[in-house]
Amino acid sequence: MTDVAVVGSGPNGLAAAATMARAGLEVRVFESAPTPGGGLRTAELIEPGHFHDLCSAVHPMALASPFFRRFELSRRVPFAVPEVSFGSPLAGGRAALAYRSLDRTAAELGRDGASYRRLMAPLVSRAEGVAELTLNQLLRLPRDPAAAAVFGLRTLEQGSRLWNARFREDLAPALLSGAAAHAVAPLPSLTAAGAGLLLGALAHAGGWPVPHGGSAAIARALTADIEDHGGVIETGRRIGSLAELPPARATLLDVAPPGLLELGHGSFPAGYRRALESFRFGNAACKVDFILSGPVPWAADGLADAGTVHVGGTRAETAEAEGQVASGRHPERPYVLVSQPSRFDAGRAPAGRHILWTYCHVPADSTVDMSAAVMAQLERFAPGFRDVVVEFSVTTAAGLAAYDENYVGGDFSGGRMDLRGMLRRPVLGRVPWRTPLPGVYVCSSSTPPGPGVSGMPGFHAAKYALRDMFGLDVPDLGYYAG
């Protein structure tokens, strides 16, 4: 019998395995793909020498997640932290830029600069408390009540029709909406507002880091730590049932609810099974990766220095595009999330070349190739963009679902991001990482705190498994520990 079996080696499965291995337990990880990583894979997708992130590309949580802070990820992986965390281009060659400096950001937002500062400053000064609040389960007392109060009031404002009440121009609202649209939810909404305010606070508090070598560098750091502490990772091993696993005192499953049902093979109680069957997934993305002969020819100054660009236009235009997706339509002018990693990591492409990572939101299960709409949006704010495109590759929502079984219908968030979806993840309960089966825990992004490369779902599941099954506390996860 082994101590711990982990199914799935996405960021959460690896975080769970690293935590358990650090506690001195025998850990075995089972991954169906040829390499570990899940959403943390980087590959030569189109041409040799051009390294594209297959899923996640920019990592706002890498410096802020409580798990990654304990793990000292910043000491294990070299990161570039762009001075401009993100930007939003507007017509007329203008752009709103979120610098790491809140003061500089406010100074360039015109008449709304002071209002933006008043909105964000309390969140930035309490960024650690805001991250602790949002990266744990909602049904708990916050450790920093002041941060919770500030965050809650601003989420209520920005998640309602009052979201424009404090603004007079279009730059600041566009900047906020670009971050909020990461949630793949209608705008305005509480979940989108909460996501956007957290991401904005992290942008000013520490920046949005880009890992050198791509997202796979994070997976390599986690994998190396697991193996250094005696853990074993078996790739090419798809587990179809819990019965296929070796006997283990604790089993942690980095799977979405349909995968959990498959693994359980009818062993879950009826009520829990019904909850999993009724779990709702959200909309999806169509991803377009580019090789470019030069940098993106943005019309607006400053966007070339942004790690991330939210291409959607004004707040109203972004809201319209996200509303169309929510109603099951494919926008003609979609919100496009853009990452420019080779601007900050020259090793990602040969000299003179660049790679560009983009996606736009689409309805779940979409098979539509959105590359023409994506390129039209980029051409709109970067005239001449088509002239620098060497080659591109498209992954539809259906393709994302085929790539990773956890991306049901192409939903890379692990479940719908609305209030119900955040509370019932996958079930409503004080410890939703526990399943009714003794010693079996679920640790995917379908559990709190949800999507994003934070490692926190895996860390939470491991914390309870350590306590329940082994009577152990969370071990030291630091770089030189163990």
Q: How far apart are CA 58 and CA 452, in angstroms?
A: 10
Q: What residues have CB less than 8 Å from 429, skipping those under 6 apart?
A: none
pLDDT (tens digit, 9 = 90+) per residue, 434-473? Answer: 999 999 999 999 999 999 999 999 999 999 999 999 999 9
Instruction: Identify the CA nearest to 99 among candidates 314, 388, 337, 306.
Output: 306
pLDDT (tens digit, 9 = 90+) per residue, 5-44? Answer: 999 999 999 999 999 999 999 999 999 999 999 999 999 9
* Element at 224 (helix H, strand E): helix 216-228
The whole-chain average pLDDT of the chain stands at: 96
pLDDT tier for residue 144 given thresholds of 50, 70 and 90:
confident
**Is residue 159 scored above 80 in pLDDT?**
yes
DSSP string, 255-304: --HHHHHHHHTT-S-HHHHHHHHT-----EEEEEEEEESS----SSTTGG
Q: Which pLDDT score, from 0 to 100, does residue 180 have?
A: 98
Task: Reply yes or no on domain 66-210+283-402 having CATH 3.40.50.
Answer: no
**Rounded to the nearest 5°, which phi and psi values hold at 421?**
-65, -25
pLDDT (tens digit, 9 = 90+) per residue, 361-382? Answer: 999 999 999 999 999 999 999 9
* Pairing outcome for strands 94-99 and 232-234: unpaired
Q: Which pLDDT score, from 0 to 100, does residue 139 have?
A: 62
Protein fold of 2-41+214-280+413-470? FAD/NAD(P)-binding domain (3.50.50)
Q: What residues have CB less than 8 Å from 301, skipping those under 6 apart?
A: 95
Contact between 256 and 7 (Cβ < 8 Å): no
The pTM (predicted TM-score) of the whole model is 0.96
Q: What residues have CB less than 8 Å from 17, skipping those under 6 apart?
A: 4, 6, 9, 27, 29, 222, 226, 231, 233, 252, 458, 462
Nearest-5° Cα angle at 327, 326 to 332: 85
Q: Which pLDDT score, from 0 to 100, does residue 141 have?
A: 74
Q: Which pLDDT score, from 0 to 100, does residue 481 have?
A: 52
CB burial of 210-231 (b: ≥16 within 10 Å; e: otherwise) equals bbbbbbbbbbbbbbebbbebeb
Q: Which two tokens stand for residue 337?
A: 């999330």
Domain layout of the chain by residue ranges: 2-41+214-280+413-470, 66-210+283-402
* Element at 121 (helix H, strand E): helix 113-125
Q: Which two tokens stand for residue 447?
A: 């559990």
